[in-house]
Amino acid sequence: MASAGGTPADHSSPQAVLSKAGQLFHAIGTQEAYDETVRQQGLEAVEADIAAVVADVRNLMASSMSGDQHRLRAIYELMRLLTILSGCEDLQAAAAQVLGVLAWNHATAVVNADAIPPLVQLVSSPDDHARAAAIGALINIAYRSATRRDGVLAAGILQPLLKAMCESTCTKVLASGCRLLCNVWGFSENSPPPVALGECGRFLPVLVGLIGGRAQAHRVRHFARGALVGFASLCTQDNGTDADRDALLECGALASIKMLLETADSELNGVACLTLHIMTEGSTAHKQAVIDGELVPLLIELAGSEESDADMKVMAAAPIGRLAHEASQQQIEYVAERGGMQTLSDLLDSAGGVDKIAEIQTHNDLRVAAHVARFLLLHFRARLDEERLHSLYQQSLLHAAEVETNVGADDDTDSDSDGECDGEADGHLQGESGEERSSAET
């Protein structure tokens, strides 16, 4: 094979550069052809030809001589070379870097040349230089485009990226990896990424570790924070599945969440609260994992702190409220013992919610009024309208509401001394089984 490359100083025409790239690919495009070319010319000569072609293509893209047609052809040739350069990390890195530069202004053309799969594959390279270049190219491809972002995700980027970020100590790999997560987890309205929360959640221990690592470069910590905020945004769009929650538990995410709650950083506190809201949406076992992780006291402290703003209080209160009302009896008692119920009541009172609830005591729907009266009786007795309460007792609705919600079933207070009602209630109440319960016995 005659030398295919030339040097940048040759100022070759676009047609000549692309022709050389095509000739090179055909000369080494298979293992057999590559071995034969190396046997004839020697390894150093073949590698020099490859490097020269990559350099010429890069220079062609920067040249004013490069029109759109030549640019598209150059991208295609680069992508083909990238797929056959396994083991030549420096050359792979050079090709990936050129694709990354092209993707900045011509991302769609790069995608149309089918460059995403080889770039994703290159992220698995053991060479930091090569995988950093591949990650950089994917950053530009996924930037501000839901379609291209989804293409990167569909190519399976998350697993090799997680492996690279776990293995590498290279600042460029770690910072670029976090930036890529920001791009593939980011979305505009109505365009959430097609990815499972559990798969994304496996990055939490890595990202939290990067933020907490004082030896890490500032840009690594900066982009790791951005990626965590991106994950929190995903949590606001998707309640997740039990499989997602299982994945979070398996990767040790709760220990990382605890670290975020223990910081004096409101943004990171918010990430933790939103993640725990997802966890407490799950089964009794998932709720118990939150309790066993000693996260409830931290949530209660955050929700009740004078230093927390209103939004933070709401985010911290959400998982507390779910544990307080949609958990097992033992779990509810645990939350109450730690002061969770009182914290929720205080938040409600401070937000003026008690005033609004107290007004509903006079609601025309007697069933609604009965529930409100019971809530005030248990938590804010001073705000209870005693006359209204007596009226509700007279109509036997308060007891019916207790049966409906399965709260206070042991409180067997009769409506009056002889157990009879002055009048029948209008309508029926739904029982827990879905069957209708009569609101007054005859």
Residue 209's pLDDT is what? Answer: 94
Query: What residues have CB less than 8 Å from 125, skipping those under 6 apart?
Result: 89, 92, 131, 134
Number of helical (H) and strand (E) elements in the chain, helices listed first? 25, 2
Cα 358 to chain centroid distance, Å, stands at 39
Say if 376 falls within a structural domain. yes
Tokens representing residue 309 in the block: 């703003």
Q: In 3D, which of 344, 329, 267 has the Cα closest to residue 299?
A: 344
Can you give the residue range of the structural domain that contains 381?
363-407
Question: How many distinct structural domains can be found in the chain?
Answer: 1
245 lies in a domain?
no
Q: What tens digit of pLDDT does each residue of 188-222 get?
A: 667 888 899 999 999 999 999 999 877 778 999 99
Domain assignment present for residue 387? The answer is yes
What pLDDT is recorded for position 431?
35
pLDDT of residue 14: 66
Q: Is 397 contained in some domain?
A: yes
304 located within any domain: no
Instruction: Specify if 375 maps to a domain.
Output: yes
Q: Are strands 428-430 and 436-438 parallel, antiparallel or unpaired?
A: antiparallel
Q: What is the DSSP string of 329-382?
A: HHHHHHHHHTTHHHHHHHHHHHTTHHHHHHHGGG-SSHHHHHHHHHHHHHH-GG
436 phi and psi angles, rounded to 5 deg:
-80, 135
Give CA–CA dist 181/200, Å, rounded.
9
Establish if 345 belongs to a structural domain.
no
* 249 Cβ neighbours under 8 A, 6+ residues apart: 286, 289
C-alpha dist (Å) from residue 315 to 236, 260, 304, 308: 11, 14, 12, 10
DSSP characters for 242-289? HHHHHHHHHTTHHHHHHHHHTSS-HHHHHHHHHHHHHHTTS-HHHHHH
Q: Kindly report the number of other CB atoms within 10 A of residue 128's CB atom.
A: 19
The mean pLDDT values, 10 residues at a time, for the chain of 442 residues are 43 68 68 78 79 70 56 66 66 79 81 88 92 95 93 96 96 96 84 90 95 83 94 86 94 95 93 94 95 96 89 90 88 91 76 63 67 67 67 57 50 41 35 35 36
At residue 125, the pLDDT reads: 92
Distance CA 83, CA 56 (A): 18
pLDDT at 61: 59
| Segment holding 320, helix H or strand E | helix 310-325
Q: Is residue 320 part of a domain?
A: no
User: Is 320 in contact with 278 (CB distance < 8 Å)?
Assistant: no
The dihedrals phi and psi of 303, each to the nearest 5 degrees, come to: -65, -30
Question: What pLDDT, on a 0 to 100 scale, did the predictor assign at position 402?
Answer: 56
Q: What is the pLDDT of residues 255-301, one digit of tens each?
A: 999 999 999 899 999 999 999 999 999 999 999 999 999 999 999 99
Overall pTM > 0.85: no
Closest CA to 260 of 285, 235, 286: 235
Rg (CA), the chain: 32
- Alpha carbons 111 and 120: distance in angstroms, whole number: 12
